[in-house]
């Protein structure tokens, strides 16, 4: 399906993406004894101009997914198609040219900016790397970018330590916008910021998306923020996506037991309201299994409160049979034996 410009509505297509980190033993002669399965067979699409939220608890593989998509980590297996081109097959100059269309806003505004570079050098570096502008034209473009993200253009000669956390994240946003990308991976861009500053950065991202037609993969663990900014949401657990649907469907009728548990933990804005009182907190028991040794069947089976129901109703032992990630309703994908 294409839009009015003849381009496909799907900007990014991820198919069976795997990112394994090898475990080795030995000092001189290292032996490969296993793998950390950080991302394990992930499939989804991102439509042009939308925001896809990617949520899950810490360590589930969200950030690794974002980095593998941009080829900052070279995937172990799978395909990443951007504008119909398979990024996993690109190398060297071809990949560098494609990266102009894909940028990243990093989680930590303190660690992601070089303390020895001025703001002008940081924001202007992508322009230099891609040979877009030079000299006075580059300087003017940097000032324009700072103004776009709400910073004083005269700050161009200052260093990162002279700015607050929120201002540093705005510098990171300006750097990502410098080469006019189509797609930006937002890797928990507000988690290190104060709550009042978080709202400013979220509003900035929404304004920039409307102005420049940007497409976001928004990675976060704050479900309230994801609900506000996302069009569709993917829920991740132990390297796999367990549920994917539009924002309203996910919050109104979550299917997967893990999604239900996550949503039950969201603080209630109005605890007195009848609809909120009807919700009950789902407490998950046990710890998340190691990604080096995930369960044989469903990754969530060791903590799932519905495991016995699946055995009783479907006759399936979730600990032995891995569920298929499939579309159980229009646009609603779930990996659970209870559905479909």
Q: What is the CA radius of gyration of the chain?
A: 22
pLDDT on residue 194: 82
What percentage of the chain has pLDDT greater than the value 70?
Answer: 94
Tally of helices (H runs) and strands (E runs) in the chain: 11, 12
The mean pLDDT value for 272-280 works out to 56
Roughly what angle, to the nearest 10 degrees, separates helices 119-129 and 165-177?
Answer: 20
124 touches 138 (CB < 8 A)? yes
Angle between helices 119-129 and 135-148 (to 10 degrees): 120
Q: Kindly tell me if the per-residue pLDDT of 237 is higher than 80.
A: yes
Report whether pLDDT(275) > 60. Answer: no
pTM of the full predicted structure?
Answer: 0.90
Give residues with Cβ within 8 angstroms of 126, minimum separation 6.
103, 132, 175, 178, 179
Is 208 a residue whose pLDDT tops 80? yes
Asked if residue 231 lies in contact with residue 247, where contact means CB atoms within 8 angstroms, the answer is yes
The whole-chain average pLDDT of the chain stands at: 89
Strand order in the sheet with 102-105: 102-105, 183-187, 215-220, 51-55, 232-237, 240-246, 332-334, 326-329
- Residue 272: the pLDDT is 52
Average pLDDT value for residue range 309-315: 89
Q: Is the separation of the CB atoms in 217 and 46 below 8 Å?
A: yes
pLDDT over 70 (residue 242): yes
What are the pLDDT digits (tens) for 313-322?
889 999 999 9
The model's pLDDT over 90-144, given as tens digits with 9 standing for 90+, comes to: 988 899 888 889 999 998 888 889 999 999 999 999 999 888 888 899 999 999 9
Pairing of strands 232-237, 51-55: parallel
SS3 at position 67: helix
Coil, helix or strand at residue 163: coil
User: What are the tens digits of pLDDT across the range 2-12?
Assistant: 555 556 789 99
DSSP string, 50-63: -EEEEE-STTSSHH
Question: φ and ψ at 335, to 5 degrees?
Answer: -110, 85
Structure tokens at 90: 């690109």
Using an 8 Å Cβ cutoff, are 224 and 55 in contact?
Answer: no
Q: Which of 239, 218, 288 is nearest to 64 (CA)?
A: 239
pLDDT of 291: 93
Q: What is the C-alpha to C-alpha distance for residues 71 and 91, in angstroms, rounded to an integer? A: 10
| Residue that wins the pLDDT comparison between 28 and 275 | 28
pLDDT score at 8: 74
pLDDT, tens digit, for every residue of 27-81? Answer: 878 888 899 999 999 999 999 999 999 999 888 999 999 999 999 999 999 999 9
Return the structure tokens found at 67: 């980095």
Token digits for 26? 């030995």
For residue 248, what are the contacts with CB-CB under 8 A and spacing of at least 6? none
64, 38 contact by CB (below 8 A)? yes
Closest among 105, 98, 78 to 11, alpha carbons compared: 98
Domains within the chain, CATH numbers bracketed: 10-115+181-334 (3.40.50.300)
Q: Is the pLDDT of residue 274 over 60?
A: no
- Where would I find the H helices in the chain? 62-69, 92-98, 119-129, 135-148, 165-177, 195-212, 223-229, 247-252, 257-264, 274-277, 307-314
């Amino acid at each position: 399906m294409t839009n009015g410009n003849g381009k496909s509505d799907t900007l990014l297509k991820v198919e069976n993406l795997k990112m394994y980190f090898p475990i080795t033993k030995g000092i001189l002669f290292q032996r490969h004894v296993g793998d950390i399965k950080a991302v394990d067979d992930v499939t989804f699409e991102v439509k042009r101009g939308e925001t896809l939220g990617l949520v899950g608890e810490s360590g589930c593989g969200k950030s690794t997914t974002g980095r593998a998509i941009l080829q900052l980590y070279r995937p172990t297996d799978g395909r990443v198609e951007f504008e119909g081109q398979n990024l996993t097959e690109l190398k060297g100059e071809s990949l560098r040219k494609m990266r102009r269309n894909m940028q990243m806003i990093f989680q930590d505004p303190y660690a992601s900016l070089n303390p020895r570079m001025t703001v002008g050098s940081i924001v202007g570096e992508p322009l230099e790397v891609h040979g877009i502008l030079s000299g006075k034209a580059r300087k003017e473009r940097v000032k324009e970018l700072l103004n776009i993200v709400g910073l004083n253009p005269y700050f161009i000669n200052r260093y990162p330590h002279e700015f607050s956390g929120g201002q540093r994240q705005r510098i990171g946003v300006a750097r990502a916008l410098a080469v006019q990308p189509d797609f930006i991976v937002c890797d928990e861009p507000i988690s290190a910021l104060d709550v009042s500053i978080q709202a400013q950065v979220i509003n900035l991202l929404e304004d920039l998306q409307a102005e420049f037609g940007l497409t976001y993969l928004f990675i976060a663990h704050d479900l309230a923020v994801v609900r506000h900014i996302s069009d569709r949401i993917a829920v991740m657990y132990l390297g796999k996506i367990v549920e994917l649907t539009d924002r309203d469907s996910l919050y109104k009728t979550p299917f997967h037991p893990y999604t239900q548990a996550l949503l039950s933990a969201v603080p209630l804005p109005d605890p007195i309201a009848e609809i909120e009182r009807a919700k009950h907190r789902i407490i998950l028991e046990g710890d998340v299994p190691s990604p080096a040794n995930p369960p044989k069947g469903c990754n969530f089976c060791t903590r799932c409160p519905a495991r016995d129901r699946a055995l009783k109703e479907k006759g399936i032992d979730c600990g032995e049979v891995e569920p298929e990630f499939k579309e159980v309703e229009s646009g609603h994908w779930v990996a659970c034996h209870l559905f479909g």
